[in-house]
Structure 1
């Protein structure tokens, strides 16, 4: 894992540890959007994994059904 990818992973871990507990549960997917982002970053790196995570977050809204959506 490259240094930029590692920074992305640390950012998501920081969010999960310190920010997410302060917010109400809202993710419509399983795994959660932040967990999806972690897996995508670790599997594909910063650019492709980050893009997959951003697309997933964009789909996470009240007008989408959600459900099980694993990282490809």
Structure 2
């Protein structure tokens, strides 16, 4: 169900795909989630993203692909 994760590491946020590995490094969680949203455009499907904070807390969110213009 989850194939994307946003992981806090050393003050940065990593976007990680289970199959492809690390997709990018971002300064904020919001930037990493925006990248996950763009990544959802690949198959035009909403994706659940796991969020792992440095404190060890886990959360999840749903990202919708951006609309095509």
Name the TM-score, length of structure 1 as normaliser. Answer: 0.32
Structure in which a larger fraction of residues adopt helix: 1
Q: Which has the higher strand share?
A: 2
